[in-house]
């Protein structure tokens, strides 16, 4: 029987990121994806133009509807834009018998539009991160969380140590924007570091790669893989999705989540 995995995140009407990318990545990695929508964004490959945060009552109703009916032990979170949303999600997750919580700390859209309110950063650190099995910040997000500048792997190691102190079990700093060895991700478990080297593409079809990677990791965790193996499998999948990226729109096009279905 397929495992069920839930994503709690924002919606991207262009389909490249957010809930839409999460569900595609989960399906492509062999699990049944479910969703709780926190915010609705108007966006395309050129950027975000408007955002509407759903009422807390609707977010709560979605969470209660799922958790009261379908057993789910692996959750992935994405865009949780406000302190109230983070608190609501955190309190509901604390009541669940979760095996894994993968937190993608979505802060800024690729075009620069803020997706996390400034005052919500403290709530993220104190309420959600201590529940996380894995936190998956990109370089910019890791800099904001740690307060450190990151250009080298040595910098990434120091930032990972700072971020780990917020209570998450593992920190995976993604190296897509790393100046030294771009494409190399760094995992820290509080004691040891592990590098995941990968190809780096000069391409503009990278919309939603963070959502895609985190969702693929969650899917592989749900299938029983250890953290490192789940990351390895998800990184390979995401790399191929980028390699087969779709040149849609006039900006950053999406990856191809189902590249393996090509005729």
CB hemisphere CA count around 15 (13 angstroms): 8
Question: Which of these is catalytic: 206, 212, 238, 255?
Answer: 206
The rounded distance, in Å, linking the Cα atoms of 111 and 192 is 34
Question: Which of these is catalytic: 3, 24, 110, 174?
Answer: 174
**Active-site residue flag, 60:** no
**Active-site residue flag, 209:** yes
Tokens of 105: 């700390």
The DSSP string of 144-192 is HHH----SSHHHHHHHHHHHHTTS-SEEEE--TT-SSSTT-EEEE-SS-
**Active-site residue flag, 208:** yes
**Active-site residue flag, 211:** yes
Question: Which of these is catalytic: 208, 212, 235, 238?
Answer: 208
Q: Three-state SS for 30?
A: coil
Question: Which of these is catalytic: 209, 212, 238, 239?
Answer: 209
Question: Which of these is catalytic: 33, 211, 235, 238?
Answer: 211
Q: Are 166 and 125 in contact (CB under 8 A)?
A: yes
Question: Which of these is catalytic: 10, 16, 198, 210?
Answer: 210
Residue 37 phi, psi dihedral angles, 5° rounding: -90, 130
Supply the residues annotated as catalytic.
174, 206, 208-211
């Amino acid at each position: 029987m397929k495992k069920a995995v839930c994503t709690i995140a924002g919606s991207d009407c262009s389909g490249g990121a957010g809930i839409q990318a999460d569900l595609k990545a989960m399906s492509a990695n062999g699990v049944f994806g479910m969703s709780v929508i926190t915010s609705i964004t108007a966006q395309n490959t050129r950027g975000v133009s408007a955002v509407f945060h759903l009422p807390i009552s609707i977010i709560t109703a979605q969470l209660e509807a799922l958790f009261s009916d379908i057993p789910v032990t692996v959750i992935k979170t994405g865009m949780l834009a406000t302190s109230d949303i983070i608190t609501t999600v955190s309190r509901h997750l604390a009541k669940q018998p979760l095996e894994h919580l993968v937190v993608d700390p979505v802060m800024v859209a690729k075009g620069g539009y803020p997706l996390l309110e400034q005052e919500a950063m403290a709530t993220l650190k104190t309420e959600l991160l201590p529940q996380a099995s894995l936190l998956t910040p990109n370089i910019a997000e890791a800099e904001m969380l740690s307060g450190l500048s990151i250009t080298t792997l040595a910098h990434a190691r120091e930032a990972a140590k700072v971020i780990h102190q917020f209570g998450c079990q593992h920190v995976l700093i993604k190296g897509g924007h790393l100046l030294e060895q771009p494409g190399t991700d760094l995992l820290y478990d509080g004691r040891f570091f592990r590098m995941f080297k990968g190809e780096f593409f000069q391409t503009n079809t990278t919309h939603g790669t963070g959502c895609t990677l985190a969702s693929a990791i969650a899917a592989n965790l749900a299938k029983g893989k250890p953290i490192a193996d789940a990351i390895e499998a998800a990184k390979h999948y995401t790399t191929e999705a980028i390699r087969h990226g779709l040149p849609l729109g006039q900006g950053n096009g999406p990856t191809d989540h189902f590249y393996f279905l090509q005729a």
